[in-house]
A and B are shown apart, each in its own frame.
Chain A
């Protein structure tokens, strides 16, 4: 079984490495895009190099997702404990309320509050990313079979020990799925953030969509953005597949 996982990881890491290397080769991109669009005078987005754009984009996602996990996980855990269970209905309703809320609208609403630049995008990504993480943390923890918990307490685990040794490991697959959903949506919304000055791979796309249509710019941003999202998705899928033991794997959120 280990071999199967090892193979997946190797393929994945190879693809990521290839992506990183390709990103760094600006001239390669320039040549490809020139040959595709011979009429365009400028083929590469002038404000920043491709690797910078990718890095900006990744930064946006990492910072916001990091905050989301830092706050979302404990929130989800607290709300399923004795001390927080009064707030469970409210939090549950808020997360499903948030599911209907369009993510780009969150971004648009953050701008009047925080102005121009990276901050509103990070705020919007953080807030919107909370929803799948909190929702899946709650769902994962609630799906731990009652008898398993009963056995844990009966054997002499304290509530904290049961949480760390039993509940959390069993909920982990579902939680990771939540993080995965959150990150993928964030990569997409961060792309739009470029509109509001956040930088990232959306910048060339937006620039290319403006009145002076420049398809080369668009591709320069869109293709890496798409690959980035797909790679991130596969990364999380591979992590998820490592949890083969747990019966809660059958649960599809």
Chain B
């Protein structure tokens, strides 16, 4: 086939070149005040700027070259190189800058840095598409920079950046709130799964129950998260006043309890709906065969319906979990802890890097949970069934 330029790769390369124009690092006199943006050449120096410029230009050239697999691989490798180089440079330059800066100065990552990452992502994405049949190469260019990043993070290469400084100042609290955040989403999803699956089974079995169940869960799902949480507070306070035992169990109008209850309610719809669809879509002929072979109703449920429904139900749990990870930020508003605590603190203090200390781990957590649940779904899919990809 004639050489075809890769528009996506070109876009990535151009974006990468453009990222050089933006402020790469921001130097702030202290953690609260806004600072001045520094371009790459002002912070790291011209030598490094030129190297990165050259790398992006080579990428651009390769994007025009052709669609042989080798080109794609080299493109992917270059993107990873740029990323790793950028990471190293960021940590290093921050350290250099701090040495000559006033005592409380902070260095934040600027738009240029983020654009670089976006551009590299686009390039890696474009290269991956052309390397579908060589899994090893594809895996290499997908994970190299990510692994390097994690290694550098743990080694403390980024410790001079504002985010890490905020983190390091509160690492104990972070650990505490991080695990609290996990509790804040695992509990609701677990309870929600039990209730949701039961409701889903009920709705699937009974035509009468189906409508009201979905009607209620649909309505509740539409209500904004903050509003639902808010509505629960006076209700729970009143209940705790009237029935003191609840207060002993921790269910009152403050603390994590209202958040957990709200999140449980939000977990219901995806799980109920997916359980319902999963059960309804089991081919009646298969059930008939089972019954015909002499299986009891319970055996049919256990050995036919459950395995066939498992993938979809797990997908529903996955969706519920991701929603819960995000909404759990709100728990901090009512003293429930969690990573939202840092978001609120950061906002209230006006320290934007502290906000990031809360927000970024939430995003990472969401993706990790997503990946884990997808894996669980794949493992639970009986061989020979095409699992529905969402």
Q: Do chains A and B touch in the complex (CB under 8 A)?
A: yes
The size class of the interface chain B forms with chain A is 35 or more
List the B side residues contacting A162 at CB < 8 Å: none
Are B322 and A225 in contact, with the CB atoms below 8 A?
A: no
Given A87-B7, A100-B367, A219-B231: A105 in contact with B352 (beta carbons within 8 A)? no
Please, how many angstroms separate the alpha-carbon atoms of A208 and B122 in the complex?
44
| Contacting pair A86 B329 (CB below 8 A) | no
B222 adjacent to A191 (CB under 8 Å): no
Please, which residues of chain B bring their CB within 8 A of the CB of A20? none
Neighbouring B residues of A208 by C-beta, 8 Å:
230, 233
Distance from A232 Cβ to chain B, minimum over Cβ atoms (Å): 8
- Is A109 a contact partner of B333 (Cβ separation < 8 A)? no
A residues within 8 A CB of B330? Answer: 104, 192
A111 at the B interface (CB under 8 A): yes
A237 to chain B, nearest CB (A): 10
CA gap between A89 and B237 in the complex, in Å: 50
Interface range for A? 35 or more
Report the minimal beta-carbon distance from A116 to chain B, rounded to whole angstroms.
8
Segment at the A interface, from B137-145, B353-361, B378-386: B353-361
* Known contacts A209-B230, A219-B231; A104 and B333 CB within 8 A of each other: no
Does any Cβ of B come within 8 Å of A184's Cβ?
yes
Contact with B along A160-198 (1 / 0, CB 8 A): 000000000000000000000000100111111001100
A72 within 8 A of B: no
Q: Report the bound CA distance from A108 to B370 in whole Å.
A: 20
Say whether A26 faces chain B, with CB atoms less than 8 Å apart.
no
B347 touches A196 (CB 8 A): yes
Q: List residues of chain B with CB within 8 A of the CB of A201.
A: 227
Instruction: Verify if B334 is at the interface (C-beta below 8 Å from A).
Output: yes
Per-residue CB contact flags for chain A residues 92-115 toward chain B (1 = under 8 Å, else 0) read: 010010011111110011011000
Question: Which residues of the partner chain A approach B253 to less than 8 Å between Cβ atoms?
Answer: 213
- State in angstroms the CA–CA spacing of A87 and B9 once bound together: 10
Contact in complex: B367, A112 (CB < 8 Å)? no
Give complex CA distance A223, B233 in Å.
13
Q: Which residues of B contact A112 (CB under 8 A)?
A: 352-353, 355-356
B362 CB, nearest partner CB in chain A, Å: 5
Contact of A209 among B225, B334, B355, B360 (CB under 8 A): B334
Q: Which among A87, A191, A196 is the interface contact of B224 at CB below 8 angstroms? A: A191
Task: Select A111's contact among B7, B347, B390, beta carbons within 8 Å.
Answer: B347
Contact partner, B227, options A86, A105, A205, A213, Cβ 8 Å: A205
Closest CB of chain A to B234's CB: distance in Å? 4
Q: Report how far A206 CA is from B224 CA in the complex, Å.
A: 13
Q: Is A140 an interface residue (CB 8 A)?
A: no
A104 to B230, CA, bound (A): 16
Contact B329 A108 (CB under 8 A): yes
Bound-state CA distance A177–B208 (Å) is 27
- 17 more A-B contacts (CB under 8 A) besides A37-B234, A191-B226, A205-B230? A86-B7, A90-B8, A100-B322, A102-B326, A104-B225, A105-B326, A108-B362, A112-B352, A208-B230, A209-B333, A209-B334, A215-B234, A218-B233, A222-B226, A226-B223, A226-B224, A226-B231
* Selected A-B contacts with CB under 8 Å, 29 pairs: A37-B234, A87-B11, A90-B8, A90-B122, A99-B322, A102-B329, A104-B330, A105-B329, A105-B366, A108-B355, A108-B358, A109-B355, A109-B363, A111-B352, A112-B353, A112-B356, A187-B224, A188-B227, A192-B225, A195-B344, A209-B233, A213-B233, A215-B234, A218-B234, A225-B223, A225-B227, A230-B219, A230-B223, A233-B222
Give 4 nearest A-B pairs by CB, closest first.
A102-B326, A112-B352, A188-B224, A215-B234
